[in-house]
Amino acid sequence: MNAVTPTPSAPAGDHSVARLDHLAGIAQQLLRRCRSRGASQAEVSCSEEHGLNVNVRMGAVETVESTRDRGLAVTVYFGQRKGSASTGDLREESLDATVEQACAIARYTEDDPAAGLADPDLMAQLPATGSFPDFDAWHPWALEPDRAIDLALACETAGRDSDARVENSDGASVGTSASLSVYANSHGFVGREHGTQHSIGCALIAGRGDGMQRDGWYTTALAVEDLEPANAVGRRAAERAVSRLQPRSLATAEMPVLYSAEIARSLVGHLLGAVSGGALYRKASFLLDSAGKQLFPDWFAIDELPFLPRGFRSAAYDAEGVATRESALVSGGVLQRYVLGSYSARKLGLQTTANAGGVHNLHVTANAGDLASMLQGMGRGLLVTELMGQGVNAVTGDYSRGAAGFWIEDGKPVFPVDGITIAGNLKSMFQSIEAVGSDVDPRSHIRTGSILVGRMTVAGTD
């Protein structure tokens, strides 16, 4: 057997379907119990997950962990009073006690005008096939511990052997998981979902003493055949670690900053946090009352695509059963809407955007080429490949984070950079975006290439 290439996914069997039917049966039974205890509305979420994770370091096995989790949560509404309880025990007496606890909590809470299930007219409708599509998300990997260990060792060895300057390792890992979930509510909605996710990763240390530098790489996908080969992951980790040796700082100045693709999605994450319902109704966002306003250059666009095959967050419905839909979050640089579930929507006097539980696959439209062409276009400035710290003020948008990367001259990396801070304000940073690359990092539900911000303050020590 090849020690460095993952074996293909095993074909989906009937076991997951049977387990989903079992969980759906439990959920519907609990909804009946909630109604019999006087609840005006109720919802039940059930989930099961199992997986395998292996970690090795310096050629030796460190951990082999088999996981198996399950959980069930019941939420009841007595008018506009809400109560919730959860359990991991599916025995009859435990299920009954969970319903009773949720009802008891609801009876003693105060009315909340925003409480309740999502509007029944917004529920996703079951297709004629009798089941919601799984968007090609189910690819179980029949991975035995010995095989996982072989892959992890091959990954680390490939990295350590690829460059003599790699003298130590933080280890390599291989993981696989499969999850089943059911959501049901008293509107009559019952949704079943199943999905898998697999990963291979490696972190290596180059150099010695005070000159040591650490970096890594990982690959993750819903299907094993979409993973990068284990040895390629190890070699990429080594290249990244070695490239950071002998870093310098920079003189404090304003300059263009190019966020590499894997770092650029953090900028989109800050946008999401600021336009999410919870932050808005608490008035803890720098983007209050921003829907319909120009936040980005007029070419900039972000679309939500919930129906992507093998998308990390593809779904026919959200965490409340509301039907998802393709829609623009930003179009022509204008914020088109907020990111809302039914509770936050009611607090704001708006309607849910089918985002209870989060967004479903965001795609940032590119207006430039790959990373090399982005560097050429920037000419001179800072390429950021790592961010440190949490220096972002969600209320004001002030942004200040430690960073590392490379100084760029004439469109090419000249030397690695460390010990610097990049700062600005997210509102002005969004407006100063000059380009988005086509070098999309596929390892996230936020799909974006590298992002060039035309001017930021870079504080160094030189």
> In this predicted model, what pLDDT tens digit does every residue of 297-347 receive, in sequence order?
999 999 999 999 999 999 999 999 999 999 999 999 999 999 999 999 999
pLDDT at res. 461: 75
- Scanning 207-324, the segments in alpha helix (DSSP H) are 230-243, 261-275, 277-281
What SS3 class is residue 30? helix
Does 391 reside within a domain?
A: yes
pLDDT at res. 3: 47
Going from the C-alpha of 76 to that of each of 42, 73, 82, 83, 105, the distances in angstroms are: 4, 10, 6, 5, 9
Does 387 reside within a domain?
A: yes
Structural domain range at position 397? 247-462
Domain count, the chain: 2
pLDDT at res. 331: 98
pLDDT band at 16 (very low <50, low <70, confident <90, very high): confident
Does 8 reside within a domain?
A: no
CA distance 315 to 305: 9
Are the beta carbons of 284 and 318 closer than 8 angstroms? no
Same domain, 230 and 375: no
pLDDT band at 12 (very low <50, low <70, confident <90, very high): very low
Are the beta carbons of 249 and 409 closer than 8 angstroms? no
Same domain, 413 and 292: yes
**E-assigned strand segments in 116-261:** 166-185, 190-206, 213-221, 253-259
Does 1 reside within a domain?
A: no
- What is the rounded average pLDDT for all residues in the chain? 95
Does 314 reside within a domain?
A: yes
Same domain, 179 and 320: no
Does 10 reside within a domain?
A: no
Categorise residue 40: left if φ over 0, alpha if ψ from -120 to 50, beta otherwise.
Answer: alpha
pLDDT at res. 131: 85
pLDDT band at 433 (very low <50, low <70, confident <90, very high): very high
Same domain, 300 and 394: yes
pLDDT at res. 15: 79
pLDDT in tens, 342-398: 999 999 999 999 999 999 999 999 999 999 999 999 999 999 999 998 889 999 999
What is the percentage of the chain residues whose pLDDT exceeds 90? 93
Q: Give the end of a domain, one of 221, 242, 263.
A: 242
Q: What letters, b where the CB count within 10 A reaches 16 and e where it falls short, cover 242-272?
A: bebeebeebeeeebbbbbbbbbbbbbbebbb
Same domain, 456 and 320: yes
Same domain, 164 and 255: no
Same domain, 192 and 300: no
Same domain, 221 and 256: no
pLDDT at res. 4: 56
Same domain, 54 and 115: yes
Same domain, 169 and 310: no
What is the percentage of the chain residues whose pLDDT exceeds 70? 97
Are the beta carbons of 427 and 295 closer than 8 angstroms? yes
Are the beta carbons of 23 and 179 closer than 8 angstroms? no
pLDDT band at 288 (very low <50, low <70, confident <90, very high): very high
Does 218 reside within a domain?
A: yes
Q: Give the end of a domain, one of 242, 260, 294.
A: 242
Mean pLDDT of all residues in 237-247? 97
* Diameter of the chain measured on Cα atoms: 73
Q: pTM for the complete prediction?
A: 0.93
Mean pLDDT of all residues in 218-245? 97
Q: Give the end of a domain, one of 222, 242, 262.
A: 242
pLDDT band at 129 (very low <50, low <70, confident <90, very high): confident
Categorise residue 127: left if φ over 0, alpha if ψ from -120 to 50, beta otherwise.
Answer: beta
* Between 13 and 227, residue with greater pLDDT: 227
CATH code for the domain of 49: 3.30.2290.10
pLDDT at res. 14: 60
CA distance 76 to 96: 13
* Amino acid, res. 372: A
CA distance 110 to 97: 22
pLDDT at res. 346: 98
Same domain, 128 and 228: yes
Same domain, 54 and 181: yes
pLDDT of residue 187 exceeding 50, the answer is yes
